[in-house]
Amino acid sequence: MRIQTIRYLLFALCAVIIVVFVAFAAMQSEYLNWDYNDPELAVAGTILHGVEFLFVRLAPFALIASIIGIIFTYKNR
C-alpha cells in the first residue's frame, strides 16, 4: 500500500511538472514585455523570471528522478 501511494505521488509530480512547463510555454515569458519603469511591475517581473529560470533548470531533474522512482516501484513487485 505504501509503495502504491509513493507511485501515485510520483505520477502526480510528473503531471504537475508537465502542466507547469506547458503553462510557461503558453505564457511565452510575457513579463519580458512589461514596462519595468513601474516599480511594482519590475518586482513582479523579476520574481516571475527567477521562478521560471529555476523551474526550467531544476524540473527536468525532478521529472527524471520521478520517472526512475516509478520504474523502481514497479520492479519491487
Contact 11, 70 (CB under 8 A): yes
pTM: 0.79
Q: What is the mean pLDDT of residues 45-66?
A: 94
CA–CA separation, 17 vs 65, rounded Å? 12
- β strands within the chain, DSSP E: none
Q: Are 17 and 59 in contact (CB under 8 A)?
A: yes
User: What per-residue confidence (pLDDT) applies to 76?
Assistant: 54
What is the average pLDDT score of the chain?
A: 90
Taking Cα atoms as reference points, which of 73, 75, 71, 77 lies closest to residue 3? Answer: 73
Domain count along the chain: 1
Domain that holds residue 49: 2-75
Residue 59 has pLDDT above 70, yes or no: yes
